[in-house]
Amino acid sequence: MKNLFFTAGLILITFFGGSAQKPQLPLSGELVIFHAGSLSVPMKEISAEFKKIHPEVTIFMESAGSVDCARKITDLNKPCDILAAADYKVIDNMLIPKYSAWSIKFVSNEMCIVYTEKSRNASQINAKNWYEILQKKDVAYGRADPNSDPCGYRSVMTMQLAEKFYKKPGLANLLTAKDGNYMRPKEVDLVALLESQSVDYIFLYKSVAIQHNLKYLVLPAEVNLKDPKFTDLYNTAVVAINGKEPGQKVTIKGEPMIYGVTMINTAPNKPVAIAFLQFMLSKEHGIKILEKDGQPSVIPQQNPNFDKLPAEMKPFATK
């Protein structure tokens, strides 16, 4: 009888405009995420935590260089709900406005020289001589492909900035001309080369080195593309990469590293995509994991597409 009165009371409250709310249906279905290779470890952790709350959701993740991730959408028309890129400009330049309406800047990173105890000259390398060691004939180093991955063009920018910082004319050309056979489509592919001792050093993000328990050399702030204070200096580093059309080149200027994330306009499962992004960008959940894995939060950042953000996303940006 008590249950009968309780049910009747809820009906009356709802009928007369009370505050009773309809119970939300559990989230379900598939969620497809394309993400930068450098996000592989944290995205796996974030997805596992999200599924504890929403077990009916099946998450499919594809890791690739951020530029290649975007091309899966623009060139191959592959279904995708969320794209998380190592450079927010990949989204802004390749996807907005045709394929997505907005992006949110969420974490940062920095370039390092990464190695192991077995790397040649590992006991001698430091912030003053690393570029000399990388030029040695018996030393091999790897880097990501600039046309596939922001880590690739950021590696070249790091060389250009090092040329200025150490006052070594021609240094960038000397480094880019060496060991081209150890270039890979995305930065995490380089870890396998390093761990197999195929190369001695790699240009890599600090976060990936932390996640894989690798040794890394911290570079000067004028070189590592981390510090907003050196934005004008970073802007002097310029790299041309392949554009959308065959033979087309796009020029990219250096700037402090900021990752970006978006929901695709044609996302097959928008309710789940929004819920996942809220979870991923919250300080208590996704951001906590990202910071543990070496990627500091930059939320909130000024957003030129603020008015186009879904209401659920606006707390993570400023107008």
Q: pLDDT at position 10, please?
A: 40
Q: pLDDT at position 24, please?
A: 58
Please name every residue paired with 142 in a beta bridge, in sequence order, or none if there are none.
Answer: 202
Q: pLDDT at position 260, please?
A: 98
Backbone phi, then psi, for 98, in 5-degree steps? -70, -40
Would you list the domain boundaries of the chain? 26-107+258-318, 111-253
Give the CA angle between residues 192, 196, 40 to the nearest 5°.
Answer: 15
Q: pLDDT at position 19, please?
A: 38
Q: pLDDT at position 248, please?
A: 83
Q: What is the CATH number of domain 111-253?
A: 3.40.190.10
Q: In CATH terms, are 26-107+258-318 and 111-253 the same topology?
A: yes
The predicted model scores a pTM of 0.87
239 in Cβ contact with 146 (< 8 Å): yes
Q: pLDDT at position 25, please?
A: 67
Q: pLDDT at position 26, please?
A: 87
58 in Cβ contact with 78 (< 8 Å): no
Q: pLDDT at position 188, please?
A: 79
Structure confidence by residue, pLDDT tens digits, 169-201: 999 999 999 999 999 998 778 999 999 999 999
Weakly modelled stretches of the chain, pLDDT under 70: 1-25
Say if domain 26-107+258-318 classifies as CATH 3.40.50.300. no
